[in-house]
Structure 1
Amino acid sequence: MTKAIKLLTALPPPQRERMMALAREVSFPEDARIFESGDRADRFWVIRSGAVSLTQQVTPLQQITVASLGAGDLLGWSWLFPPYEWDFGAEAFSPVRAYEFDAGSVLTLCEDDPRLGIVLVRSVAEILAHRLETTRGRLMDHYALHGRGAL
């Protein structure tokens, strides 16, 4: 498995400073739903402290955790791609402090600073590849555990 990349540390210092100028500090109490699958994705977060569970609704009555995120992790990437809706739900597993970024402001910054845009998109792509690998493993474990893993 590849090592998880941290978005803010992946950015060169000048671009990181420009991004952080857009950041707003927010917090979520334990058990707070941060977003739901299908809702409009117009922001994202970098977790400062605490833990967030990414969830997927498997059946109307069952949801599973497909990823657990912690300090330094990117929460939310659907703001980059049409139809700009969350693919998963997110819930604070513990009290969470995070930097919140408005997607429109970040996209405008990327247009003004193409180097930042390239580094940001590459970093998000690496994060997505890592998450896909992790999620695939969790789903395989889930289905194998419940007897649905056999072909």
Structure 2
Amino acid sequence: METTPLSEVLAGHRFFHSLDPAYREVIAGCAGQERFQPGSFLFREGEPADRFYAVRSGRVALEMAAPGVGAMIIDTAEAGEVVGVSWLFVPYRWQFDARAVEPVGAIGFDAVCLREKADADPRLGYALMKLFAEVLIRRMQSARVRLLDLYGDGRSGTPADRVRG
């Protein structure tokens, strides 16, 4: 069992490395170690977004249900990354599924606890928002690349139409 204080564990996590050490100490009070086996869900679309996870080991697939296709992976997260941004935005519901692809070790954060701390200290809230804005931008860029892969050179029609082409 790991005895390193969570604030120190956070200091070694790429996502939190630039966060002021005092803020890492504050948010560590909202966190705990968690493990997920392959195939298990960290969260499911539509459920309350009451946590987010800093991945320490393993890989997590972010998925969405596509009619007629089933689960589509829209992005993945590995050690040093985080999953879950819906906890920041009303109505606090997950927009995607997050599923462990490999055994995952993560730090889970209580969203209500973090929002209360961020509301009480706007500087902390701003620091967290800047970190999560980077995640949102990266995920949008990833989605853009996936759409370009899916729809190719931008010609009109469906991918199936272009194959028949």
Which amino acid is 2:102 matched to?
S
Unaligned runs of 5+ in 2: 1-13, 153-157
Q: How many matched pairs?
A: 145
Which has the higher relative contact order, 1 or 2, with Cα contacts under 8 A spaced 6 or more apart? Answer: 1
1:44 equivalenced with 2:56 (yes/no): no
Which amino acid is 2:132 matched to?
V
Aligned partners of 1:10 and 1:123 also within 8 Å: no
Of 20, 28, 33, the match for 2:36:
28
* SS of equivalent to 2:16: helix
TM-score normalised to structure 1 length: 0.87
Aligned match of 2:18: 10
Q: Which whole-Å deviations, capped at 9, do the CAs of 1:58-99 have from their partners, x for residues lacking one?
A: 215422111110112111010111111111111001000111
1:101 equivalenced with 2:130 (yes/no): no
Unaligned runs of 5+ in 1: 1-5
TM-score normalised to structure 2 length: 0.80
Aligned match of 1:90: 98
* SS of equivalent to 1:7: coil
Q: Report runs of 4+ in structure 1 exceeding 4 Å deviation.
A: none
> C-alpha displacement at 1:118, in angstroms?
0.6
